Structure 1
Amino acid sequence: MVTVFRSLSLTRQLLIAMVTLVLLTSASVGVVVYWAVERALIPQGVLRLEGDARQLATQLVSRTTGYRSDLAARTKSGAIAGFIDASTGSGTDARLDLDAATWRRIVENLFFAELAAKSEYLQLRLLDAEGNEVIRVDRQKGDEPPRIVPVAELQAKQSRPYVANTLALDPGEIYISPLDLNREHGEIVMPFTPVLRFAAPMDGPDGQRYGLLVLNVDMRQDFRILRDAVLPGSDLFLVNAEGDYLLHPDPAKEFAFDRGPRVLFPEDRPALSAAVGAVAAGSDLVSADGEATRAVAWAQAPLAQVGPPLTVVLSAPSRIARAAPAIRNSAAGVGAIAALLAAIAVGLAGRAIMRPIVAMTHGLEDASAGRPVALPVTRGGEIGVLARALNDYIERERFDGAIVNGSSDAILTTDHDGLITRWNPAAAHLFECPAESAIGRDVDAVIAPDGAFTVRTWLNDTMGESEGGVADITRLRRDGTTCDIALRASPVHAPDGTIMGMSIIARDMTAERIAQEMFRVSVEYSPAGKVLCGPDGRIKLVNAQTEAAFGYTRDELIDQPVELLVPQDVRGEHASLMRAFLASPERRSMGNDREVFGRRKSGEIFPIEVGLTPVPSRSGTLVLAAIVDVSAQRAAQRDLIARTQELERSNKDLMQFAYVASHDLQEPLRMVASFTQLLADRYKGQLDERADKYIHFAVDGAKRMQALINDLLDYSRVGASTKPLEPVEVATVWQRVQRMLLSTIRETEATVEAGPLPTVMADAEQLTRLLQNLLSNSIKFRSDVPPHITLAAERQGEFWQFTLSDNGIGFESRDAARIFDMFQRLHERGKYEGTGLGLAIAKRIIDQHGGRIWAESAPGEGTRFSFTLRAAEPARS
């Protein structure tokens, strides 16, 4: 039978027990009532008043117990422990890497949420061991929202008794202060607010006493509940151990010990005070000072485990006590129907009582499933205390779960046997194993399945270390790549100090390790010397090229001042320059306005080029210097400058020689040409045919020599010209060239056309010569049909590209570059006139203008001469 009863649900068990109890009570109610009525010396009204006093005392103790439980739960908060750890620097829990400021915000938000949810909470504070407030959230008035108190407004509470009393407690104990009025800065806060303080000592992870956690509860709501529970006509008193009133029908007498002259219960109500006995609860009838007989009942309310209790006293007129005869007259009828009504009432009451318990059961199921939780947290009594404690536990669990599940690092926990008990999403991603497959399995099988690293052995070794342990593993991913993982483990302790398991934080270090290796390789194998200096100017890192350039080994350079690598006479200046660079760091070269020299170990001074790059780091701004030994380059530059100057002198002398030689040849050549022409004119037909032929050869040779000398003079003039370039309208020059060659154009029946022509930066005289040579060349090398020549221009960035096209005889594409060389002819001398210098002069003119010239052609398909000249106006964006 007992087994069957225990297998029923809690609701049915309670219903059966309550119905049975009511039936037994109803069966004996007639006897009990009759016996009570017969006992005239113990009025039923007095006993009922005593029950009311007991109920009020129980209710006050129950609510106080709830507040104490709330504070006890909050002392185990991981956020507060994290703040203490971060503040004292002695923490060993490495699950979160947060600084003290971040923990402070978390604890402040936690306190704020606590006060926002519970209007009776007035203050929630964390004090250090000296009694100074460290964190405080309060509400200045009961109907105002809570606020996070700024650091500047925090108070020193060393003088308050609850500080010393709490600090003297053992861990886990809670101090409850006497009920008094709230004070701030030593002054009573208006309106008067009765406050009960709950305080618990707080220790750091090293066992040292950090301070205390204090909860101030506004007792006005509790007092209001007590007053509302008192029947009309009854007086309620709440008296402390010293006899001071905490509750009184006359509010002016409440907390008189805080506000002014004390009003004590024995002095104010001596008859009632004398009736209240030393026992925890009781009742009596009293009469004093000519007043009518009154019923008095009392019950002690022990709020704290130690210390004197409070006393709840109820007083009512004696007519309440003389209600027993009416009960005796109706007891028979009531007893007859009590059983039936009780059965129905018990059924309804039982369901009402069990409803919040069922709701809490469903709440646990919802919390486990991740659904919203609804608990009867607003109920009073033990059910409300249990619901609020359960709600706090669920909130803490969800908050901790949100932190773990939202972490970018993999977080997992194991039990004492190395079986996985928790596995967050980051762990599932990092180890490529979902939570449902990981939880319950051996940690080695999931984290290091290849056996290269035994996690359980490492964990067993770590359990004995107070600060946990770290390890690095390399894991093969499913795609065949390797993953470097850093593990950090710390033991998880039960409240009694025993180790329940291990907490492991894993971080993917692959990218960081690759970056470190890439940095090392790029620095070590750089063709330039690399020197990394700290903010103090001391060398932190060098590469092999630095060793080779300066002759020092790494060990000789590391942690030495960088001035070791500069000449002795500039070391003082270099130190100040480095301080200036660190004051305004930017990537730049060193010594833009001067030459920079280094000093080898041998003492040799040599030229260098240095590029400076600031490198931010946790220890400050580092400076990475790229150093190149430019001794060979400087020597090559000096040699190149000397050779260039020599070449310029040689070219100048050569041009001067060519000009002088060509000019001096003109005079004898004119005489030869003149006299051979006279011979030809005077003796033509008078001599034999052979003599006429020789004279013709002499005249022709003189003319060709004169043309060659003129072209040489033009070529030399192009190189010697230093006239600055200016804007020139190409259309105007092109028209001028056509007028100059008008007779030739007409004789050959050539057609010359041009599109829109721009303005360029040029020497107008040289540009004229250029277009004249190109146009003459197109007319000269014409085919059997009349020449058709077109000049067009196209913008190419900062330049104009000109193209002169003809329909002449063309040439092989392999000769496209050779035609611009001096004295180059692609045809027999007698077939086409010319010296072979026309296109060479054209190329020299284009070179002088900073452009380029080229030709495209094919036999029988004409020729396209293209050249570029800088535009007079910048290109439009």
Structure 2
Amino acid sequence: MNPVDRLKVWFKTSFRRRMIARAMFTAGISALAVGMAGLLIVRHLEHSHNNEVYFQELESVGESISSSISSIVQDLEILANTPPIQGLARTVIGGGVDPVDGSSTKEDWELRLSSIFESFHKMRPSYLQIRFIGLADNGKELVRVDRDADNNIVRLGDDRLQEKGNEPYFQAVLQLQQGEVYKGQVSWNREFGEIQEPRTAVIRYAVPVFAEDGTRFGMIAINVLALPFGNNAFARANLANDIVLMDGYGTIFIYDGAAKSGQIFINQPAPLPPEMIAFLSSGDTASAVAEIDGWTIAKKSLSKATPGDVVFTIAVITPTEATNFSSRFASRILLGSVIVLMIVSMIFSIIGTQHEIAPILRMNEAMGVSRSGTQRPNLPLDRTDEIGELANSIDKLVERLITREKRAKTIFDGVSDGVIISDENGVIEDVNPAIEKMFEFSQTQLIGSNVGILMSKADHVAHDRQVAHYHATRERVSLGDTVERHAVHKSGAAFPIELTVSPIEVDGSRFYAGVIRDISVRKAQEAERLVLIEALKASNEELNSFAHVASHDLQAPLRAIHKVSTWIEEDLGDHQNEEMTENLALLRSRVERMSQLLDDLLEHAKIGRKTGATNSRLVSGAELRDELSNLVHLPAKLQLEFNPEFDRIVIHKMPIRIVLLNLISNAIKHDDSPSGVIRVSVNVLPTYFEFSVSDNGPGIDPQYHERIFGMFQTLKSRDAVEGSGMGLAICRKHVLMHGGEIHVESAGDGTGTTFTFTWPREADATETASVA
């Protein structure tokens, strides 16, 4: 065997040697890779660190500017909502005097508003002008408070107030909604259209003002001194570097970090290299860093400070030389460390590998001892490294297997249904205690016996046929399904069961699990329930027959009485006096009332006794509205109104028409007002309609709200209000039978009554409604 082959065998037969060789090779390659990449990494880290510092400074400056702008916006919102603003609106609209207090004039409110403006001037030294501009008189200024050249706060008189209707910002603010803010570009301050000397750079902010009724009334405008505003914002960032702020209109603000002051250049050249201005003006709005003419410049777009769609760019400038010294020193240190690292890593790889693999080899020996399954392996569970984690994982796996076996046994023994495990020949392998209790066989009597001892002969034959079919075709047929069978008790008595048989395969062996539930009690209850249902059906048929017979048999004598009263009236002719006429009319009215009562009683009895789907056709709400309007007898003093949503619904005409007609008729009968309105409305909800019928009649005392839905119930005598007292009972029964609810709302104090009920939306009606 040559030396190469001998070396291969030497490595192949020893896990320890292979691990040492691989560790040495890995250590050498790793040290070399570290040496090659170290310098690049250090330089990259230094560069990244410097950029991170720049961007942190930019973030600090951006937050300072955003905070300053937020303060201005907050001041505008406060001023726009001060009481003098609404007071001025009321006095202008009300003709010169505030209608709220009846004494404050336009001048009073202007004086109060100017005092508030002066307070804000004192609080904000960078504010040059605060103005309240109206919409009338071409945007005439109503109140204006300025800061003059001597830093005095002065309210301008009426002769110095200007018209701003032709200013671009005035037109822009007119397009804003409540809560929106106008942010203008940096510009020179102008008065009466002329730039003021000495020139002062300002930034204009404005918000619209609305009167209490929501109409646009004017605007609040603040002119901010751009230079003090920028100096204060940058000073709060507390940076030593120079800062450049540039917008898309050509305005550049240069802040000297050492002097803590800045300069503004509006539409004029700034003292910056052209390449630097080009870098700041580039279309790339993301954060970026560049080196230009010995300077490192980091820029970032400030979206929060951007007025309109204009890009607002901020940059930090620092000398490039100051950032490169630390990178050179770190590179030299790294280069000297590479050689030492390679030597030390080779030595430690040999020692460390031998030490680390020793526990793994010992754990392998312990696993070999426990392979017989007679004892748990002796593993290094007290270690806190990955080997300890591996040992603990193996130990937990063994413990989990033991626990799972115990849990399965507990569930198997504790389940209330009987469970039988049998092999593919039907020999019982195991049963749970529920089987012992159900059949009164002991576990020892059942294990080893065929499952046929627990079945009737016919079921046993059918079971064997199903199992044989499954073995031959792998088709389950009824295996896995729950079926009803008859089991045989130890005493030989048969009793009904539910049986589910499922095939199970474990390590190539096939078993069957049968779950058995005794349903003797349930079957007895079902039989009893069928008897009760049949009895209830017979009772309902008898009640239905009785209602028809009673109605028809009682209607016949009523019709005879009505006819006889007519004959008597005809026979008396001119001989009847006023009392006779009144008595005969009273008799016929009582007959008609009794007839109506019988009809209502029969209708009430029929509700809920009709089986099958309704034969009523689908109608639109408009069609139902026209039909209801034609059916009711509406006195001239009353109006019947439907909400617009009512016309758009689609619903089965019956029995909703009966319910609505009864409620409308009820409102007409009980109305005692000289003029009234009955309103019918519907609210379409996802699964049901919510109907309501309201009137402005006398109302119903709350103590009678439940009583009125009873049969033959009226709150007034039938001589005062004609009716059978069945209308609301019929309504309630129809609603309840359709799965809805009905209730009444009324204080009983003459303010009217509202009946509200819900009605389910049928599937076909819902689909039609959605198309409509």
Provide the TM-score with structure 1 as the length reference: 0.41
Rg (Cα) greater in structure: 1
